[in-house]
Amino acid sequence: MSTAHEWPATHGGPLLRMRDIRKEFPGVRALDGVSLSVGHGRVHALMGENGAGKSTLMKVLSGVHPTGSYTGEVFVDGEPCAFSGVADSERAGIAIIHQELALIPQLSISENVFLGHERSRFGIVDWGATHARAGELLSRVGLDVNPATPVSALSVGARQLVEIAKALAKRVRLLILDEPTSALNEVESARLLDLLLDLRAEGVTCILISHKLGEVVSVSDEITVLRDGRAIETMSVERDAAGTPSVDEDRIIRGMVGRDLDHRHPERIGEVGPVRFEVRDWTVDHPTQPGRRVADGIDLEVRAGEVVGMAGLMGAGRTEFAMNLFGRSYGRHVRGRLYKDGVELDTSTTAAAIRGGIAYVPEDRKNLGLVLDDDIRHNTTLAGLGRVSANGVIDPGREAVEAAGMSERMRVRSHGTTQKVRTLSGGNQQKVVLGKWMFTEPDLLILDEPTRGIDVGAKYEIYLIVRKLAAEGACVLLISSELPEILGMSDRIYTMCEGRITGEVPGEGADQETLMRLMTRTGGHP
């Protein structure tokens, strides 16, 4: 792979200096005089709440926001840089992996990896060399998939790994990773972090944006905290002989939010009631491969006022099961029954599932949860139009009132409910998705990776909303790849492996080691 040693000898100073960067959008100052210095062969983390300016700063560096759209200076290896686009930054050895994946689903992995810099001979694409090199890169990031596989057939987590392979295919000396592990579970995340350390050893500099405090502390050499468009401080992470870092998670949180979060997960408020939902023998086949079971004989139950966690590694079948349960919106339903208060429930369509009191917050909020080009108001009421209409005609005034009330309840930070959802931060987009389904007043709320890619402050607000909903008697099924989230929020936890339930443990007293052991056990429930 290309590494930093292919570049000319450095001048001895930092690889990157950004000085007094200011960037404004209509009505918003996203960056307010930010300065940043990053050394050679370092892992430098950028931390901050959603909307703090992290991604905007990196878009300035990578040419997404071209010279002239901001003020300030950028130096790479001591040389002033004026990037008019992404191609300019790539020629300088800078590659960025965005939080929003930039892959073409209809093309193969190989085609995506080398799109724009195809491997060719005499002007003709050399597919043998293309697939071979793509295979090497996939192996490098720990993804065991045929390079000819269409990206559309991959999970969100696998697509993220393809993005990383795509970046590594370029001649890179500064790699920017914006939430690279947001779609990965513990095992895949650990593999990626090891990869970052390998890149550092080869002389590649990495800038890491992540809301996962533990992983930031474990791999970073320096951590810069942004708040409200300003650089608050840069912390050097030293490690003692035992490898213990000098900076802990609480220290970072204080810098990010300007206050302490004494408890990462709110305490339970309310009591668990009787069983309300029962799933029996739920079995689902892959949508295009008949006979390939993605969920195999799932049995579970959820009580009133209970938060039930569902933990598993990538490919365990959690999302596939949840989507099929919600109106058969994934795969081919083979068999299985769902009971609500002892009565069998019809979930043969999404509309039927909604009528039955089920709501599903998907893991991919941008593609499956929101209409990005529409406003907060319309997104909020989309799943419950009957509540804001009469005789099949939507009442705009009633819709505006309901949307404003839900937006206030969700604590969505916006300029009003007519603001386009695309312009919101990730955390506020997630609150809109959650508000959309809470607007339907569900009895069972399925949350699939509800805090993926959002900061600790916004996470806590969502946790409070979930706790309040459970306290009001709703049932919550929480799917998450973050084991601390599962452990901190769940009353009971089911584990899955290869489409089967492999364990059930009480939330209180459970630990990550126990869950990981059950998540890697095959053969079904013990």
Residue 464 belongs to some domain of the structure: yes
pLDDT averaged per 10 residues in sequence order, the chain, 526 residues: 50 87 83 95 88 88 94 94 92 85 89 87 87 91 90 82 85 87 74 86 90 86 90 90 82 72 71 94 90 92 95 86 94 94 95 95 88 94 92 92 91 89 86 92 93 77 89 93 88 93 92 85 56
DSSP H/E element including 281? strand 275-285
Both 197 and 331 in one domain: the answer is no
Cα(167)–Cα(52) distance, rounded to whole angstroms? 25
The answer on 237 and 132 residing in a single domain is no
Look at residue 142 in the predicted model and tell me its pLDDT: 79
Write down the pLDDT at residue 524: 53
Q: Which of 465, 470, 471 shows the shortest CA–CA distance to 450?
A: 465
The pLDDT of residue 5: 43
3 state SS for 364-396: CHHHHHCCCCCEHHHHHHHHHHHHHEECCEECH
- What pLDDT does residue 270 have? 76
Domain extent for 71: 4-93+172-257
Same domain flag for 297 and 270: yes
pLDDT score recorded for residue 290: 81
Domain end (from 401, 424, 441): 441
Q: Which helix (H) or strand (E) covers residue 192, if one does? A: helix 186-201
Beta-bridge partners for 500: 497
pLDDT for residue 120: 82
Q: Helix, strand or coil for residue 199?
A: helix
Whether 251 and 309 share a structural domain: no
CB 144 within 8 A of CB 199: no
| 475 in any annotated domain | yes
Question: Alpha-carbon distance 330 to 323, whole Å?
Answer: 5
Q: Residues 6 or more apart from 387 whose CB is under 8 A from it? A: 381, 402, 439
What is residue 183's predicted lDDT score, i.e. its pLDDT?
67
Distances (CA, A) of 21 to 77, 171, 223, 377: 18, 26, 18, 34
The reported pLDDT for the residue numbered 6 is 57
The total number of structural domains in the chain stands at 4
Locate the DSSP E strands across 293-439.
293-303, 307-312, 332-340, 343-344, 358-361, 389-390, 393-394
Beta strand segments in 190-260, E: 205-209, 222-227, 230-236
Q: Which residue has the tokens 């991919």?
A: 364
Shared domain check, 233 and 190:
yes
pLDDT (tens digit, 9 = 90+) per residue, 419-465?
999 988 778 898 899 999 999 999 999 999 988 777 777 788 889 88
pLDDT of res. 25: 80
Verify that 325 and 189 share a domain, yes or no.
no
pLDDT attached to residue 383: 92
User: In the prediction, which pLDDT does 260 show?
Assistant: 53
Cα dihedral sign for 137, 143, 146, 148? negative
Q: Please check whether residues 25 and 63 belong to one and the same domain.
A: yes
**CATH code assigned at 15:** 3.40.50.300
